Structure 1
Amino acid sequence: MKEYRIKGLSCPNCSLELEQQIRQLENGDSASISYNSGKLNVDEKVNIEEVEKVLASDNASIMKVNHDHHNGHDHDHGNQKTLILLLSISATIFLVTLFMENQVDTSLVIFYLLAMALSGYQTFLKGLKNLFRFKFNIETLMTIALIGAVSIGEWKEGTLVAILFGLNELLEGYGMEKARKSMEKLLDIAPKEATIIQDGMEQVVSIQSLKVNDIVLVRSGGKIPSDGMIVSGNSSVNESAITGESMPIEKSSGEEVFGGSINNEGVLKVQITKAYEDSSLAKILHLVEEAQDTKTPTELFINRFSKYYTPSIMIISGIVMVVPPLLFGGSWGEWFYQGLAVLIVGCPCALILSSPIANISGITSNARNGILVKGSVFLEQLGKIDTLAFDKTGTLTKGQPYVQEYEAFDQKSFFTVAAAIEKSSSHPLAKAVMKKIEEYSIDHKEADEIETVSGQGIIAQVDGQKYWVGNEKNIEHLTIPVPIQHKITAMKKEGLTLVIVASQHQILGIFGIADQIREESHSVVKALHETGIKNTVMLTGDHEKTAEKVAKQVGVKRYYGNLLPEEKVEMIKALTKQGKVAMIGDGINDAPALASADLGIAMGKGTDSAIETADIVLMQDHLEKLPDAISIAKRVNRTIKLNISLALGLKLIALLLTVPGLLTLWIAILADMGATILVTLISLTILWQGKEDKGYSSKDDVESNLQTS
């Protein structure tokens, strides 16, 4: 498949029709057009000249995807300027003619026709082509209405219909362009060039040419071109492009950095660890771009509905024109006029636009906050969930063991022996012990004859004496005194993991280790309940006491401990029978459970596994933005429902005016245009709200805010 950018798409319905025409070409049966992103995917074997002819029939054209994004916008902006100019001239001619009509004879009809032609000639030409092909779409309806208005001498109203419809098309295009531009500003955060150091010389190259192990120079205010590791320099780095975190993070030699993040001060030398196309930023931007092309069940329903809607309007219009005069003695001219108005009311513009702009706005707002939603269908699902299942380790907790409390029975030897044995171990519990010991001034002795006993701990010699460090199984050679046994039991009841330090004859002391709960977990769970999440559940492989302790501290309603990965899957399946369930985990160990839930949410701060596993990825290393993401998703769903109600409601009211014969052409077009304007503006408020939440003004773009934050 080959991908092209398309310029000049006029409406979602027209895009579908163009897609169908391209599919009729040789080798074109797999072609697809996305109105949301303005892209065409087509088989490489298709004759591209034939494709261009099809697109040209709707005044659209193609541009290869690797061209500058702004070219497409310049073209669309040029089209908008032309349309604004034509509409302005038409409106001026119409107003002048309307003013002079009372003073001059009706020969001024020519001026009405001129105004009508300037504002509606594109619609008229498309409509005529469609009429001869028996294809009934928006342009066909409008063309029939204009011909009908002229045929019965309604010059003023016909001209007004043409001008208002042109204005409607302009506003419709503006709304989608605004949403696309906002998305593309987000995508434009990717750096274009990098300064590479070779043989002591600096050279500016395209980021696509970067290779693993290349050394790049990043000056103050510059973007890090791809994922890498700092080999020289210290600085604070703004990672908001990746994670949505507004606060810069201090980085120094040996630490990893993400491509697209900004070096705030100083000079960094970074060794590239991933080619740009494999970097976290490239994957994020690719997935965000792909997300525009997915269709929700609501959108698919609207598309199917539109296929039957337009022919139905044609039939209803015909009935209005014919039945009252034939059966009830009505005036043919009057009811013909009413039928033309019904045609205009029937334009499905607002209905088709009710969903895509809202979805793009929601995806963009979440992406700004470091929340990667992989498609509109997942955004819709996020707004419907009522149960949220959490993994514990690394999600509600930091996944970093720490010593919560300790008891020393031999003050002289406890820390000294523990430090000597644990300092060479890479085990997470050993690291927690060493972190606690480093808070004190302890002389580190050397351990000899170190022996690791699987599932128990370590046995080693310090100063010629044998010592044991580990769990209870590792001290079976000792008889534990009752007071110490009580202490061990009490610490275990608190959900602590024990590291016991013992000699040949006695226990020297006990470390009680816990997984540190994230500071924000309690407030996040509370905020989730406030957003409408009815059930919060914690699923963990840790023992029941630990699960109970963490659940109480963070405020989840239910918890289940001692679960194997396959048991987590069974729990998720059971929960999905009771409601819509989202599972949130680290994207690695919880992959089966994430896949089993209605919606999988991964935490990862840019890790490949997190990006690839779930439907939604929290690029931060915490849950703080999750309530905002759910709120945005719920707002998108509410907006789409409101849009559909407005689109159909205004049309229904206008159609009901035909009963007493009060519907006019200009009321019909105003009803259609009013619905389109309302749907577009309401959808764009999601985008503007997203900027306000992040502290953006409506005129700022993502990149400038990143650079000044």
Structure 2
Amino acid sequence: MSHENKYLVQGFTCANCAAQFERNVQKLSGVESAEVNFQASTITVIGDVTKKEVEKEGAFENLKLYKEDEQIVQSSKWRSSATWKTILSGLLLLSGFIVHGTVGEGFLAILFYASSMAIGGYRLFVQGLKNLTQARFDMKTLMTIAVIGAAIIGEWGEGATVVFLFAISQMLETYSMDRARRSISSLFENTPKKARTWRDGSWRDVHVKDLAVGEKVMIRPGEKVTVDGIVKKGVSSINQAAITGESIPVEKQVGDTVFAGTLNEDGQLEVEITKRNEDSTLSKMLKLVEEAQAKRASAEAFIDRFAKVYTPIIIAIAIVVSVVPPIFFQGEWSSWIYQGLAVLVVGCPCALVISTPVSIVTALGTAARHGVLIKGGIHLEEAGRVDAVAFDKTGTLTKGKPEVTNMWVSEQTTENEFLNVMASLEQNSKHPLALAILTFIEGKMNTSLEEVTDFYSETGKGVTGTINKVSYFVGSVGYINEVTHMSDEVISQVQQFKSDGKTVVLLATSQNVIGMLALADSVRDESIGLMKALHNMGIRNTILLTGDHEKSAQMIANEVGMTNIKANLLPDEKVNYVKALREGGAHVAMVGDGVNDAAALATANVGIAMGGAGSDVALETADIVFMKDDLSKLPFTVLLSRKAKRVIKQNITLSLLLKLLALSLVIPGWLTLWIAIIADMGATLLVTLNGLRLLKIKKN
């Protein structure tokens, strides 16, 4: 029976090495398939094969494998053999230069140079020669040919320098990718492996994988929350930065939801588990981030395709440069072979190969730190192209909860009397409007409520009850119109509230209307600023898509400053509208809550779901997820995507231009190994540092 095993890989130095490792493992007996995710530094193997056998296939890079639940031994860079070999190679190279400059390039200087090449480039040569025997041409093949050729024509010093600087280049790539990966993994570090749970009449420490839904765990002050669950006892502040990106701690009390991986700051909590460890929001985020790293952007796919053609072209150019001038133009063989070797060095595609993945992984990590989950490089690119944004209304632009906005009281009663009777009756109702009314009244007055007798609730209409021998009715306009007389003044006031798209709840006796409250789903505080930010970024087409009636939609659109509205839409009509926008040439992002808008999210170029923390639907349906209900993350996401796209273009252009510039020196015969080395190292350094700039982008 085949098994699927996933291992974390330590020691990748470049994308080509990761691809070579994947090919090696795929050839193993008993392996059905093997897939390396270079960005996430993992390998998934399906088949009947041991960890030791898989690890052996990475010996050429000294790779180490760890199971997902194993503790990775993070050794210091200064303790690694690769670092010390590079340092020793550099010291021997320096010694060679000193001897060379003092007594000339004799046996001793060549010995130092050769030792520097052997120590710094041993693994390079082994893999490069192996590639040559298999007619596989990558950067290690190019470097091996160039260095051995330099030694053959007597350029020992320059050959040794190429080896030393190539080793530094590899260390730089490793560092930059590790830094980019850490920007993501740091969010999830130190998640507790054990939890204190109540079993057999006492608190016991058990592994989080052994916890079951329904059990209770204790989270003490200063500890990380071990599970997703509901607070059953206690009050505390929880830092949810790892999940939602918000730095300000959130107050949690009985009935509130907490997430695994967040930090309990001050109080002690007892939490009832609602999700198994592997189903927690944190675990799903980890899985989605890793999958996102494997989803390659179009720029990354282009680089891979280009590199496969580019490397043989460079080898062909090097051969032409080495052979054509001596044969047809009486050039010196040694001089033009030297030029050909320099072409191989300058043509090494290190900078080109690293240019895209370092930018994408860095951008994904930066987004995750701010509570924005982008499910792959392709969606990162798409977000940068957006020129139209469609929004769902309820729960997206608005809070999704009704709030009292207006009050009208007849001249025959006081405001306090009206509110007191209204609250006394509504306290017995569980309707969302009743809860909103009670919240409003509690904020206005603090009087004891009246005793209600003969209470009765009629679904869809309202409630009735007797207070101090007087029968009162609370409900919709239609219900109140059935039980009492409505004056022209009352009717006029109702129509005014309704024209504003508000819901009206009236309080009346059998003789007359005492007063009314108007309720509406209030706009999120950040919605107005959001539209201004989007318009300032050049996204001028902002559309409200809602199933609500047009007046209500128009009021919300006017309040937040949107350019278009489409009201009275069924879910399939939302999908058709998004399709029409795309067919008209727009690049559309759809923002919704991930529940009612799943089809529209899938139809848009980019589907963005709100409030992914704790919402499985949002995590599964959208391309981009805001882990907190915070619309202000949208401009940040578009800005990050645009900058990442710009950085990728800069990196590709920069690496190619530097190489073309250096290669152009072949024509007058000016290209040297020194210039080739500087061009290759300079390009690698520049694209790496440029990619890491994305770590500094912050949400305003």
Shift of 1:547: 1.2
Q: State the partner residue of 2:575.
A: 569
- Which structure 2 residue ranges, 5 or more long, are not aligned? none
2:85 aligned to 77, 83, 86, which one? 83
The verdict on how the C-alpha distance between 1:199 and 1:47 changes in structure 2, with shifts beyond 3 A counting, is closer
Shift of 1:59: 3.2
1:658 paired with 2:666, answer: yes
Indicate the larger mover: 249-258 or 345-354: 249-258
Deviations 1:300-328 (A, max 9, x none): 11111111111111111111122222333
The verdict on how the C-alpha distance between 1:233 and 1:120 changes in structure 2, with shifts beyond 3 A counting, is same
Q: State the partner residue of 1:34.
A: 37
Q: State the partner residue of 1:597.
A: 604
SS at match of 1:31: strand
Shift of 1:463: 5.7
SS at match of 1:354: helix
The verdict on how the C-alpha distance between 1:508 and 1:442 changes in structure 2, with shifts beyond 3 A counting, is farther
Contact 2:36/2:44 (<8 A) preserved: yes
What are the within-5 Å matches in structure 2 for residues 538-557 of structure 1?
A: 538-557=544-563
1:56 paired with 2:62, answer: no
Q: Distance in 2 between matches of 1:260 and 1:614?
A: 23
Shift of 1:49: 5.6
Q: Distance in 2 between matches of 1:136 and 1:195?
A: 55
Shift of 1:580: 1.4
What are the within-5 Å matches in structure 2 for residues 424-573 of structure 1?
A: 424-438=428-442, 439-440=444-445, 441=447, 443-448=449-454, 450-454=456-460, 456-458=461-463, 467-477=472-482, 480-573=486-579
What are the within-5 Å matches in structure 2 for residues 323-342 of structure 1?
A: 323-342=324-343
The verdict on how the C-alpha distance between 1:512 and 1:300 changes in structure 2, with shifts beyond 3 A counting, is same
Q: Distance in 2 between matches of 1:299 and 1:132?
A: 28
1:422 paired with 2:448, answer: no
What are the within-5 Å matches in structure 2 for residues 311-326 of structure 1?
A: 311-326=312-327
Contact 2:230/2:271 (<8 A) preserved: yes
Q: Distance in 1 between matches of 2:78 and 2:512?
A: 81
SS at match of 1:222: coil
The aligned amino acid for 1:653 is: L
SS at match of 1:355: helix
Deviations 1:538-584 (A, max 9, x none): 11122111111111221222222222212111121122223211111
SS at match of 1:62: strand
What are the within-5 Å matches in structure 2 for residues 2-151 of structure 1?
A: 2-26=5-29, 28=31, 30-46=33-49, 51-69=54-72, 71=73, 78-102=80-104, 105=106, 108-151=109-152
Query: Normalising by structure 1, what TM-score?
Result: 0.92
Contact 1:448/1:462 (<8 A) preserved: no
SS at match of 2:291: helix
What are the within-5 Å matches in structure 2 for residues 660-679 of structure 1?
A: 660-679=668-687
Q: Distance in 1 between matches of 2:677 and 2:211?
A: 55
Q: State the partner residue of 1:649.
A: 657
Q: Distance in 1 between matches of 2:79 and 2:352?
A: 25
Contact 1:90/1:163 (<8 A) preserved: no
Deviations 1:384-443 (A, max 9, x none): 211111111111111111110011225266435533442222221121122223223363
SS at match of 1:43: strand
Deviations 1:182-236 (A, max 9, x none): 3222221522222223455333222222222322222221112112222222222
1:239 paired with 2:240, answer: yes
Contact 1:33/1:41 (<8 A) preserved: yes
Q: Distance in 2 between matches of 1:370 and 1:76?
A: 34
Contact 2:89/2:117 (<8 A) preserved: no
Q: Distance in 2 between matches of 1:566 and 1:139?
A: 54
The verdict on how the C-alpha distance between 1:259 and 1:7 changes in structure 2, with shifts beyond 3 A counting, is closer
Contact 2:455/2:463 (<8 A) preserved: no
Q: Distance in 1 between matches of 2:18 and 2:242?
A: 32
Query: Normalising by structure 2, what TM-score?
Result: 0.93
Contact 1:389/1:539 (<8 A) preserved: yes
Q: Distance in 1 between matches of 2:535 and 2:103?
A: 65
Contact 1:401/1:515 (<8 A) preserved: yes
Contact 1:415/1:442 (<8 A) preserved: no
Indicate the larger mover: 679-688 or 178-187: 178-187
- Which structure 1 residue ranges, 5 or more long, are not aligned? 695-709
The verdict on how the C-alpha distance between 1:428 and 1:98 changes in structure 2, with shifts beyond 3 A counting, is farther
Contact 1:27/1:46 (<8 A) preserved: yes
The verdict on how the C-alpha distance between 1:444 and 1:94 changes in structure 2, with shifts beyond 3 A counting, is farther
1:625 paired with 2:626, answer: no
Shift of 1:106: 5.5
Deviations 1:228-267 (A, max 9, x none): 2222222222122221111112222332222222222132
SS at match of 2:204: strand
Q: Distance in 1 between matches of 2:11 and 2:246?
A: 36
The verdict on how the C-alpha distance between 1:682 and 1:257 changes in structure 2, with shifts beyond 3 A counting, is same
Shift of 1:447: 4.9
Contact 1:36/1:356 (<8 A) preserved: yes
1:681 aligned to 674, 677, 689, which one? 689
Q: State the partner residue of 2:187.
A: 186
The verdict on how the C-alpha distance between 1:241 and 1:181 changes in structure 2, with shifts beyond 3 A counting, is closer
SS at match of 1:584: strand
Indicate the larger mover: 555-564 or 672-681: 555-564
The verdict on how the C-alpha distance between 1:172 and 1:219 changes in structure 2, with shifts beyond 3 A counting, is same
Shift of 1:653: 0.4
Q: Distance in 2 between matches of 1:469 and 1:547?
A: 27
Q: Distance in 2 between matches of 1:30 and 1:530?
A: 49
Indicate the larger mover: 148-157 or 272-281: 272-281
Q: Distance in 1 between matches of 2:423 and 2:68?
A: 59
The verdict on how the C-alpha distance between 1:279 and 1:47 changes in structure 2, with shifts beyond 3 A counting, is closer
Contact 1:189/1:241 (<8 A) preserved: no
The aligned amino acid for 1:642 is: Q
SS at match of 2:408: strand
What are the within-5 Å matches in structure 2 for residues 284-363 of structure 1?
A: 284-363=285-364
The verdict on how the C-alpha distance between 1:487 and 1:117 changes in structure 2, with shifts beyond 3 A counting, is same
The aligned amino acid for 1:427 is: H
What are the within-5 Å matches in structure 2 for residues 596-615 of structure 1?
A: 596-604=603-611, 605-615=613-623
Q: RMSD between aligned alpha carbons?
A: 2.4
Shift of 1:482: 2.5
What are the within-5 Å matches in structure 2 for residues 361-440 of structure 1?
A: 361-409=362-410, 410-411=412-413, 414-438=418-442, 439-440=444-445
2:586 aligned to 568, 579, 582, which one? 579
The aligned amino acid for 1:81 is: T
Contact 2:543/2:562 (<8 A) preserved: yes
Q: Distance in 1 between matches of 2:324 and 2:555?
A: 75
Deviations 1:12-44 (A, max 9, x none): 022123323333444545311111121111113
The aligned amino acid for 1:171 is: L
Q: Distance in 2 between matches of 1:37 and 1:458?
A: 59
The aligned amino acid for 2:476 is: N
Contact 2:77/2:83 (<8 A) preserved: no
Indicate the larger mover: 201-210 or 568-577: 201-210
The verdict on how the C-alpha distance between 1:329 and 1:543 changes in structure 2, with shifts beyond 3 A counting, is same
Shift of 1:664: 0.5
Shift of 1:465: 5.5
